[in-house]
Chain A
Amino acid sequence: MFSETVVLRGHIIDSLILPKVLDQILTQGGDFKIGEIKIGQNRVDQSYARIEVSAPTHEALDEIVLRLRQHGAEVIEKADVQLAPAPADGVFPKDFYVTTNQQTFVTLDGAEIEVHPALMDCAVVVDRAARRATAKKFHEVSRGMEIVVGHQGIKVVPVQRSTSRTDVFEFMSTSISLEKPKSGVIREMATELKRAREVGGKILVVAGPAVVHTGAVPHLVKLIEWGYVDLLFGGNALALHDIENALFGTSVGINLERGSLAERGHENQMRAINSIREAGSISSAVETGALKSGIMAACVRHGVEFVLAGSIRDDGPLPEVITDTLEAQDAMREKITGVTTALMMGTMLHSMAVANLLPATVKTLCVDVNPAAVSKLAERGSFQSLGLVSDLEPFLRELTGTLAR
Chain B
Amino acid sequence: MRQLLLCPPDYYGIEYEINPWMSRARGADTPLVQAQWKGLFDTLSKLDCKIELVPPRPKLPDMVFTANAGLTVGRRFIPSNFRHEERSGEAPHFASWMEEHGYEIVWLPKDLYFEGEGDALFGGDVLFCGYKFRSDINSHRAVADILGCLVISVELVDPRFYHIDTCFCPLPDGGAFWFPAAFDEYGQRAIRDHLRDLIDVVPEEAAHFSCNAIVLDCDIVLPEGAPKLVATLTERGYTCHPLPMSEFLKAGGACKCLTMFMPQREKVG
Contacts and interface: CB of A to CB of B under 8 A. Distances in A.
Whether A and B are associated in the same complex: the answer reads yes
Interface of A: 9-11, 14-17, 19-20, 43-44, 46, 70-72, 74
B184 to A, nearest CB: 8
Interface in B133-161: 136-138, 140-141, 144-145, 148-155
B197 to A, nearest CB: 19
B144 A44 contact: yes
Contacts of B140: 10-11, 72
A297 to B, nearest CB: 67
B137 A17 contact: yes
Contacts of B154: 15
A14 B140 CA distance: 13
A15 B153 contact: yes
A44 B150 contact: yes
A20 B137 CA distance: 13
B193 interface: yes
A46 B189 CA distance: 19
B194 A14 contact: yes
Interface string B107-150: 00000000000000000000000001000111011001100111
A20 B186 contact: yes
Nearest to B193: A14
A314 to B, nearest CB: 69
Given A10-B153, A43-B150, A70 B144 contact: no
A16 B141 contact: no
A70 B153 CA distance: 12
B269 interface: yes
A15 B141 contact: no
A11 B137 contact: no
A43 B149 CA distance: 8
Contact of A11 (B136, B152, B189): B152
B190 interface: yes
B155 A14 contact: no
Given A10-B140, A10-B144, A46-B144, A17 B269 contact: no
Among B132, B148, B151, chain A packs the most CB atoms within 10 A around the CB of B151
Contact of A72 (B153, B189, B194): B153
A11 B147 CA distance: 13
